[in-house]
């Protein structure tokens, strides 16, 4: 029973060790190196045998052929560009839609404010006509009592009405 536990521990240890060694390369003396860190910059690309992220190892014979021609690296980005154009088109469409929504909200808010301004203007003009008519005007105070405006209070109300008229009726 003890040997089964030992075997299980060893198997789990080997799985853990293999999971951590994501990089594999040949060093300058020809020995295989396993590490979770990328190789030093002095190691040529052809000596990298395994990279993280399930990237296929670079065959030693194929590496120089891939690096020598100039056309090979240029061809790879050209093949990827149509996919980027599709993503950019979708992104541009979403951006335009979002901008249109923002513009609609701004216009709706401007229309709402214009309507409020128009209503305030109409009320101010009606109140100005009432004050100019000379009729006795009464207001209700905070206690709910009715007060008749004297000449000073009437002049103060007319001044307030003129300010509203100038602001909202222009």
- Neighbouring residues of 74: CB distance < 8 A, sequence distance ≥ 6: none
For residues 74 and 166, the model is more confident at: 166
Section 126-138 average pLDDT: 89
The confidence band for 114, taking pLDDT boundaries of 50, 70 and 90, is very high
Q: Is the pTM of this model over 0.75?
A: no
The confidence band for 83, taking pLDDT boundaries of 50, 70 and 90, is low
The rounded distance, in Å, linking the Cα atoms of 49 and 62 is 12
Q: Is 70 exceeded by the pLDDT of residue 33?
A: yes
For residues 98 and 80, the model is more confident at: 98
Section 117-129 average pLDDT: 92
Residues in the chain: 170
The domain locations on the chain are 2-72, 91-168
Residue identified by tokens 């190196």 is 33
Q: What is the pLDDT of residue 145?
A: 92
Counting Cβ atoms within 10 Å, is residue 105 exposed (0-12), middle (13-18) or buried (19+)?
exposed
């Amino acid at each position: 029973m003890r040997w089964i536990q030992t075997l299980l521990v060893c198997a789990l240890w080997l799985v853990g060790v293999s999971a951590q060694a994501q990089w594999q390369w040949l060093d300058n003396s020809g020995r295989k190196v396993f590490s979770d860190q990328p190789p030093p910059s002095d190691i040529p690309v052809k000596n990298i045998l395994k990279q993280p992220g399930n990237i296929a190892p670079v065959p030693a014979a194929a590496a120089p052929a891939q690096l020598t021609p100039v056309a090979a690296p240029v061809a790879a980005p050209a093949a990827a560009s149509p996919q980027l154009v599709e993503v950019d088109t979708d992104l541009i469409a979403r951006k335009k839609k979002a901008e249109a929504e923002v513009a609609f909200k701004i216009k709706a808010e401007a229309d709402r404010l214009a309507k409020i301004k128009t209503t305030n203007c109409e009320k101010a003009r009606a109140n100005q006509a009432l004050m100019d008519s000379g009729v006795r005007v009464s207001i209700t105070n905070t206690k709910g009592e009715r007060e008749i405006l004297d000449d000073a209070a009437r002049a103060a109300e007319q001044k307030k009405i003129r300010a509203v008229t100038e602001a909202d009726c222009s």
